[in-house]
Amino acid sequence: MSKLVKPIEYATSQGISRQAVYAKIKKGTLESKTVDGKMYIVVDEDITEKKEVKQEKVASHLVDVKELLKSKEETIATLKESISDLKHTNTEINTTLRGEIELLKQVFTEMRNLYVKQVDYMIVDKKREIESQSAPIEAISIENIDNEDECWITLEEFFVRCKITKDKRKHKIVKRLRKAFMKNDERIKIEKDEIYLSCYHYYEDILNKK
């Protein structure tokens, strides 16, 4: 079914100029009809409806595309924020890890130093033990010493002979020896703040004192 439409209306519906409509009529690509001395464009209503439906579909598709683009932009914005948050989080994690690594390095250094010192102490103690074993401790007999000569040994020699290696025990014995010296104990003498002990005596009272 067809209908008659004024050239200006047809031009508006098609989005073209009125001159373009007349040009189409002149070329014969557009059907026209004169009624009462006025020119009308013959339009097939079915074709018009199909065009309108098609335009509606195109418009709907454009809306869908716009919504899709909008959604895409929102997604991109969200991803950018997420990336920014991740960068910030990674920076914090890296800073924390660096701090933990530095702390571990310090702990390792301290443990290594303590271990080295302990090994040094063990080496010294072992050396003293070997020296003491190579020269067994024996009480000095007065019979083997000329009574006219004095015999004094240093504090370190005394510790070696008595197999005393622990610093804590040495400290206690030094305090006892100084106290005995202050009481005029003839077995002990102090010269230039160095303690010497007589070879002619025993010291069980000082060593085993509780």
What one-character-per-residue DSSP string does the chain give?
A: -EEEE-HHHHHHHHT--HHHHHHHHHHTSS-EEEETTEEEEEEEHHHHHHHHHHHHHHHHHHHHHHHHHHHHHHHHHHHHHHHHHHHHHHHHHHHHHHHHHHHHHHHHHHHHHHHHHHHHHHHHHHHHHHHHHHS---PPPGGGS-TTS--EEEHHHHHHHTT---HHHHHHHHHHHHHHHHTT-TTEEEETTEEEEETTS--HHHHT--
All domains of the chain in start order, with CATH: 2-56 (1.10.10), 137-207 (no CATH)
Tell me, what's the pLDDT at 140? 42
Residues 151/200, Cβ–Cβ less than 8 Å: yes
How many angstroms separate the CA atoms of 74 and 71, rounded? 5
Tell me, what's the pLDDT at 102? 85
126 has pLDDT over 70: no
Tell me, what's the pLDDT at 84? 82
What mean pLDDT is predicted for residues 81-99?
82
Residues 161/203, Cβ–Cβ less than 8 Å: no
Structure tokens at 11: 């031009």
Percent of the chain with pLDDT over 90: 33
Give the model's confidence band at 138: pLDDT under 50 very low, under 70 low, under 90 confident, else very high.
Answer: very low
Q: Which of 163, 200, 117, 63 has the alpha carbon at shortest distance from 189?
A: 200
Tell me, what's the pLDDT at 147? 45
What mean pLDDT is predicted for residues 138-162?
69
112 has pLDDT over 80: no
Give the model's confidence band at 8: pLDDT under 50 very low, under 70 low, under 90 confident, else very high.
Answer: very high
- For 30-88, the pLDDT digits (tens) are 888 898 888 999 988 766 555 665 666 656 666 677 787 888 888 898 888 888 888 87
pLDDT, greater one: 50 or 199: 199
How many angstroms separate the CA atoms of 61 and 56, rounded? 8
Tell me, what's the pLDDT at 144? 41
Tell me, what's the pLDDT at 87? 82
Tell me, what's the pLDDT at 180? 93
At residue 39, what are phi and psi to the nearest 5 degrees?
-90, 135
206 has pLDDT over 80: yes
Give the model's confidence band at 139: pLDDT under 50 very low, under 70 low, under 90 confident, else very high.
Answer: very low
Average pLDDT of the chain is: 80
pLDDT, greater one: 114 or 179: 179
What mean pLDDT is predicted for residues 11-35?
91
How many angstroms separate the CA atoms of 5 and 49, rounded? 14
